[in-house]
Amino acid sequence: MQLPLAPSEPTVKVSIPLRSKIPYDYDNLEWIMDLPFDTTISSLFLMLSTSVPESHFSPYHISRYNVSQPLNNESKIPIPQQIHNLTVVSGPSSFSSHLINISHPFISFLHTPLSSNPVVATLIPNPTCSDTILLCFDNDLTLTFHRTVRMPDNGDDQIHDLPASCGAFRLWNATEWAERLPAGMQEGVLMPMWRREAMWIAFSADGERSYKLRVMVGGVNAVSGGVVTDGENEQGKQDQQDYVVVPGQPWIDGIAVEPGVVRQFVAMPLGSGYTVEGQVTGKEKKGGFQIEIIPSYPHASPGTVWVVGTDGERKELELEKTPEEQGCKEGDVVYWQTPLTFREANLRDFLTEEEAESEAEVGVLKLEAEYDPRSFEPSSRIRRRARHYFCDIEPEEDDTEMEAEQAMELEEDSFLVGNYSPPFRATSEEPSECPAQSGLSNAPPVGFSPNMTPVSPVYEAPEEFQQVIHDRRQYRQGPVKAQPAAALSAKPAKPANIKALGLAAGGKLHQVINPDPHPPYIWDNARKCTVNIHILSPENFEEVTGIVAPGCPITMEEYVRAGIPVYEMAEEVVGGVGTGEVLGQVKSVGSMDKVMLNRDDAAQGLADEDTAGPRRCRRCEERLCDSVVRPCNHQFCWECITKEKGEEEVLRRCLQEGCRVVPIRVARFAAPMNVPGKEMKEVNVPVVKLTLNGGKPMAVAV
C-alpha cells in the first residue's frame, strides 16, 4: 500500500488570553496558534501547558462567549443512543437501508461504516531519539525496527537470550523517492541495513483494538514458513496460526524454527542464496519484509440487538452469530440499540451551527479562559498548597499550624474546583449515523502540528513535546550508534542497479510466538492491508536518497565489553506457535558460510562482494572480510584495518602485495562477523528478566 504524504487540513486561528501571575497586572498576553479544526481540546491543553510563559497562568477551562460551555482536557461530548429497526433479508445487506442478510453476523454488519475505512499507515517521528517509527492505524499500532547485535551462530545447540536495542532504524517513505527507485519498490517504506546486520521488530498498541500481523520475509511467513504468491493465496497449513497478535506479542526477533525458538533476522543480499526466501522458494526476488495487518473490531460493543416474539417477549440476540443461527426468518424485524458513547471535545465544539457549515469563514476563534479561582491568593506558600490537587506539590514540612489550617481550607475549595465538570454543550445536531465510529479520535499524531511535515526524513520534534512522549524502547535499550543523516542538496541522476536485501537466518534465540487468545469473529478482514519494507544496502540507500545511512553495527565483543544486558522473557513455551516444519530446515548464515568457505578456499579469486560468498580475512583468519580496498578490490576485515594504524597502512601493504593500481580508499560493505567456529562461545553479560503485563514487557530482576 502507498503511504500518504503530508496531509493538508482546514485550520483556524485560535486566540486565548493569558492572565499574568502578578496581582493587578492587567497587561495580559494572547496565545495565538493556527490549528486544524480536528484538534482535540486535550491536545490544545497539552500545547498550552508546554508553551504558556512562566509569568502567566495556564487556563483551567476555555469557552466561547455566548456559544459554548467551558471545556477542558477532560471534556467528553456524548453521542445520543438510538434504536433502529433492521429487516432480515435473503439478498445482500445494506447498512444505510437497515437490511441485514440472514447469514451475516451482527458484529460484522454493525461495524459496516468502520470496515469501509482503510487502515492508514503513516511514518511519524520519534522525538525521544530522532529516529522514526512506522505507525499504522492512526495513533495506535506502532512497529519499531530495532538495530541489534548479531548473536553468535555456532550451531544448533546454542540458544541465546534476546539482545538489546542498539537504536531504532530510521525509516523513509518510498513514495517520496519513487522516481529514483525500481518498479516494485516505489511504495512502502525504505530501510537501510548493512549486509549481515541483525534486527528485531517491536510492536505496541494501546488503543481500543487488537491487531493480527503476518510478518513475511521475502514472501515467506516468518511464523509458519507458508509462501505468499502474487495471487495472495497462501500455500500453508490453514489450520495453524501463522500470525502474531498485538497487544500480546511485544516483539519478533526472527523466523520461528521450533516452538519457543527463533533464528535472528539477518540482512543478506538477494542472489547470494542465503535468504529464507531463497531457501524456501528457490527464488530471491522480493527481499525485505511484507507486513500484513488485520485490525479487530473495537473491543467496545456496537450495542445490543433483540427481537420481539409473538408473545411480546423481548429476546436478546448474540452479536457474533447470524440472524439465521438465532431463529430469525426473512422479513423479521431485529431491534438494534446503539451504545452510549462519548467523543473527545474538539475545536468544532466552539462553532455555531452556521459556522460549522462553512469552516473557511470562521477567521479567528476568540476564546475566553478561566483560571484557578485561587490564583490571586497573596501568600504564595498557601497558594502552592491550594494547588496541590492540580500539580501534586508535596506540602512543606515547616508550615506553621495556622498556615496549614488555611491551606486545608483552600485545599478543600480547590478540590471542589477540581471535581467540577462542565456541562456538555447543548446540541441540536442530528445524531451520528454510525455510532460504531464514535470512538475514533481525530487527534493529530502527538508532536504533529500543521506546519510540520510528518514524513520528512530530517524532522525533529520541537523541544516542548519531547518530555511528554514516552520512550517506546523502554526495555531492551542499548547504546545508539548512528551517524547523523546528511542530505545532498541536489538529487543526482536515477541510479542503476538498485537491489533489495533479503532476510536470512542468524543465531538461535529464546522467543515464543504467543497463541491468539481471541475468537475468530473479532477480526475485521475487510480492513486487511499490507505494508512493504524495502531493505537497501547503505550504498544503494545513499544513491537513491542522498542520505548517509547510519554507521555499521557493533560486534558481539564490543557488546560484551560494554556490559550491555540480554533479556530473558518469562513465557510459556508449551502452546507457543510455529512448529518449524518448513523454517526449521532453513540453514543459518553461519552454516551457509561454512559450506561456502570450504568451497571457495580452493579457488580464491576477486569478485563482486555483493553476491560472492564470504571471504576469510587473509590477515587474521578470524573474521570474514567486511571491507574492500578500492579500486583493487582486495578485501580485509575492518578490525585488521583499524589495528594497522589506519587505512594508509593497509593501502601501503596492499601496494606491497603487488597491487597493479594505486589503492585509493577503503569501503565497508558488511557488518562484522567471525569465521564459522570462531564466534564467541560464552556471552557473559547481565541478564534482565522480563515478564509480560497487559501486552507490555516489565522488568522483574537483573
Point out which residues bind Zn ion (CB under 5 A). 617, 619-620, 629, 632, 634, 637, 640, 654, 659
Between 582 and 654, whose beta carbon lies closer to Zn ion?
654
Between 47 and 620, whose beta carbon lies closer to Zn ion?
620
Between 174 and 640, whose beta carbon lies closer to Zn ion?
640
Which phi and psi angles does 77 have, rounded to 5°? -105, 125
Question: How many other C-beta atoms are found inside a 10 Å radius of the C-beta of residue 167?
Answer: 21
SS3 477: strand
Cell readout for 340 is 452510549
Minimal distance in Å, beta carbon 539 to Zn ion?
19
Between 238 and 656, whose beta carbon lies closer to Zn ion?
656
Minimal distance in Å, beta carbon 662 to Zn ion?
9
Closest CA to 76 of 428, 346, 338: 346
Minimal distance in Å, beta carbon 182 to Zn ion?
32
Between 378 and 658, whose beta carbon lies closer to Zn ion?
658
Amino acid (one-letter) located at 23: P
Between 620 and 687, whose beta carbon lies closer to Zn ion?
620
| Cα 302 to Cα 341: distance, rounded to the nearest angstrom | 10
Give the list of residues 6+ apart from residue 697 with CB closer than 8 angstroms, or none. Answer: 250, 474, 475, 476, 567, 569, 690, 691
Q: Is the peptide bond before 663 cis (omega within 30 degrees of 0)?
A: no
Write the burial class of residue 437 (CB in 10 Å: 0-12 exposed, 13-18 middle, 19+ buried).
middle
Minimal distance in Å, beta carbon 656 to Zn ion?
10
Closest CA to 225 of 580, 505, 508: 580
CA distances to 96, 258, 439 from 302, in Å: 16, 40, 10
Between 504 and 637, whose beta carbon lies closer to Zn ion?
637
Minimal distance in Å, beta carbon 636 to Zn ion?
6
Between 13 and 630, whose beta carbon lies closer to Zn ion?
630
Between 168 and 596, whose beta carbon lies closer to Zn ion?
596
Between 325 and 657, whose beta carbon lies closer to Zn ion?
657
Between 129 and 617, whose beta carbon lies closer to Zn ion?
617
Residue with cell 553461519: 590
Which phi and psi angles does 414 have, rounded to 5°? -70, -25
Closest CA to 673 of 611, 615, 595: 615
Between 256 and 670, whose beta carbon lies closer to Zn ion?
670
Minimal distance in Å, beta carbon 450 to Zn ion?
53
Minimal distance in Å, beta carbon 602 to Zn ion?
21
| Cα 532 to Cα 546: distance, rounded to the nearest angstrom | 21
Closest CA to 589 of 605, 613, 609, 608: 613
The helices-and-strands tally (H runs, E runs) of the chain is 14, 36
SS3 582: coil
Beta strands in 438-528 (DSSP E): 500-510
Minimal distance in Å, beta carbon 652 to Zn ion?
11
Beta strands in 96-205 (DSSP E): 99-101, 121-126, 131-136, 142-148, 159-160, 162-163, 172-173, 189-192, 198-204
Minimal distance in Å, beta carbon 269 to Zn ion?
21
Minimal distance in Å, beta carbon 635 to Zn ion?
9
CA 26 to chain centre: 47
| Cα 15 to Cα 23: distance, rounded to the nearest angstrom | 23
Tell me whether strands 341-344 and 99-101 are parallel, antiparallel or unpaired: unpaired
Question: How many other C-beta atoms are found inside a 10 Å radius of the C-beta of residue 488?
Answer: 11
Is the dihedral angle over the CA atoms 108, 111, 116, 122 positive or is it negative?
Answer: negative
